[in-house]
Structure 1
């Protein structure tokens, strides 16, 4: 589905073709008629997060990742993709981003398992990059750890990104977590109160929240969580472990809330337990847009 050899050849022989392809890309309005979005996430690898279930190297094969993304993006119910420049440019050269929403991942500095994992500084797209390439918004990860003095630096940087994106009237998607470090391991707290605390903190970042969207995990009492904000919320698909049917039901229930604006799903769609990417995408698309 994706001619990886052609993509590699263009990168090697004609790198300027990437900028030209961004200029020529056909774009669409952010929201479809139903006001909801289904976005596929593909920015895990730049944060050294490669594992799926019991396979710690599942996402190390770029041809395999691209074929899975192609299957998802060819579905008309998938509105777009979230990723870092390398992944998005591969998809761009493969012709898979026409009339799709494209969100650039901005801060991937907190590498999984590193001593500096909570230092989520900007290492990927800047607001200027996003505007110059005609992307539709930028995404940030913000893990709030009260025992880590570096958290406030990430907060300040995310606040700047929010303000910069608002100035050019583009979505600022923030994925917040209330986090702790236990025996050197970072753990995100997924109880309702912790998710609400994190959402309230990041909603106040920047000089305006007019273009701020939240990306929140689906947890217990999700209706209550979603009542803690008036900002649009995209539900986080999460890791594809556990009971898939239970996960789908939780998504469906949460999508009934007024602030729920859709799903951002990565590995749960790209690496379903039965390996059938097309069926997983079809089901998610029906849930969001059906």
Structure 2
């Protein structure tokens, strides 16, 4: 990475770091929405957040860039090494976030009693109770409502309301977290790339962060927006789980990597169209 940078292209370091952090923040926001809206198994309600933040920015995109940069419209004499150097910036941010900032420890929270989340009550009921508590709180502030809120929306429901939610949630949501898996796949490999394409095209037009002449920089930024989740999360989860397994995580990863061949190819084609 060091040898590939020169005084002429070192200015790319800042924009690439910015994009890597933006990808992680967008992934975090989307996974929080997924965990709120659809059912996620109890042994993956923290792990799904790690999956949204940490992407595979290692050997997978490196192999693609090393191959693609040898052909037109890139310059094989410089863009192969430069493309790998640009990817190394994303790897730096990924490892800093995952290990140095301690995000890898979240993989074990699903198996610790003091961090384990209860199975959520249905989405509509959960937000109905939150709205009711918010209204009651607002009324108490204005002195119009002196009643005490007896139900905390974040605490387990009362025994009667458990009876209600047990019948309200279809068994298929409990047995097959298919909607969560599909949602994560859509986020990681469709929504974030669309976000990246719009951002790159708008910087190209109004700033020098992604100048059209720096084709390999634009290609790398778009390509790395649609990679699957990092596979090293699987190893860390197995190490932190007392049982030494990561079955739920494996099912989430399986669909992403199965669709990678189609979606990543399409994303690379779109990136080539833009840089040309």
Q: TM-score range by the shorter chain?
A: under 0.3
* Greater relative CO, 1 or 2 (CA 8 Å, sep 6+): 2
With normalisation by structure 1, the TM-score equals 0.25
With normalisation by structure 2, the TM-score equals 0.26
Who wins on radius of gyration, i.e. which is larger?
2
More helix by percentage: 2
More strand by percentage: 1
